[in-house]
Amino acid sequence: MTTKAFHPTDRLIVALDFPSAAPARVFLKQLDSACRWLKVGMELYYAEGNAFVEELRGLGYEVFLDLKLHDIPNTVAGAVRSTTNAGASLLTLHATGGSVMMAAAVEAASVPGAPRLLAVTVLTSMDAAQLSGIGIASSPADQVLRLARLAWSTGIRGMVCSAEEVALLREVLGDEAELVIPGIRPAGAAIGDQSRIATPAEAIRRGASRLVVGRPITQAPDPKSAALAILDEIATSI
């Protein structure tokens, strides 16, 4: 999978961070098919489960299931199996779960109908001080690289990191890596709880495969215009 293989529309994933299907459906009407990829995270998945993933697939969307699995290997493998056949294309797990956990997930995801795995390295909300607070003295970049290498060694070819590390991972892992980048803030957008951020243009120029954008679109007065402006910024940065 090369970074240039994606059509600009396939490089933007809108985070559907809503408490239930009803407000998500209202938002999708406002979005008016401006985007092809949607991310379903814990908030919406815990409320609606695979049925809503299947509904989105039925509407023609590609679905990124961002469940950030992190448990003992047997439990994570079972969770991967529980999402299989729902129609999601991508599923996240935390690389900090370790190589045995990731290998169990890879094995469980090796069947038809299973989503492709993405390893979350260091959450984009965390900075060096927060890492230090959980006992990690490394810089975010060193920790991202360590975890990405570990995930790669288990067979995982997709990583979630911030735009601050994407050039480094692209250089080390090459074009085969699918690098998915949250913490995206168009110029002037509210930063909120994110720490390691960049604009859509910066993230794409540094080698991102896909960008995840939530509140700058979901909380915009006109979500469709906000999404189209980001798609335009992506298209002019490739």
With vertex at residue 224, the alpha carbon angle to CA 202 and CA 203, rounded to the nearest 5 degrees, is 10
> How far apart, in whole angstroms, are the C-alpha atoms of residue 209 and residue 2?
8
Considering the complex, what minimum distance in angstroms separates the CB of residue 217 from ligand LLZGTKA7? Answer: 8
Choice from 3, 83, 96, 124 touching ligand LLZGTKA7 (CB under 6 A)? 124
Alpha helices in 35-98 (DSSP H): 42-48, 50-58, 73-83
Q: How far apart are CA 181 and CA 165, in angstroms?
A: 10
Which one among 90, 160, 179, 208 touches ligand LLZGTKA7, defined by CB under 6 A?
160
Q: Which one of the listed residues 68, 127, 142, 224 is annotated catalytic?
A: 68
Alpha-carbon distance values, 93 to 13, 54, 119, 154, 224 (Å): 17, 21, 5, 13, 30
Asked about 68 being catalytic, the answer comes back as: yes
**Segment near ligand LLZGTKA7 (CB under 6 A), from 24-32, 119-127, 201-209, 221-229?**
119-127
73 labelled ligand-binding: yes
- Confirm whether 71 is a catalytic residue: yes
The CA distance from 12 to 114, in Å, is 22
Binding ligand LLZGTKA7 (rule: CB under 6 A), the pick from 3, 154, 194, 195 is: 194
| Chain Cα centroid distance, residue 28 | 19
What is d(CA 105, CA 119) in angstroms, rounded to the nearest whole number? 11
Binding to ligand LLZGTKA7 in span 32-71, by CB under 6 A: 41, 66
Active site residues: 66, 68, 71
Annotated binding site: 17, 39, 66-75, 124, 185, 194, 214-215
Residues in the site for ligand LLZGTKA7, rule: CB under 6 A?
15, 17, 41, 66, 120, 123-124, 160, 182-183, 192, 194, 212-216
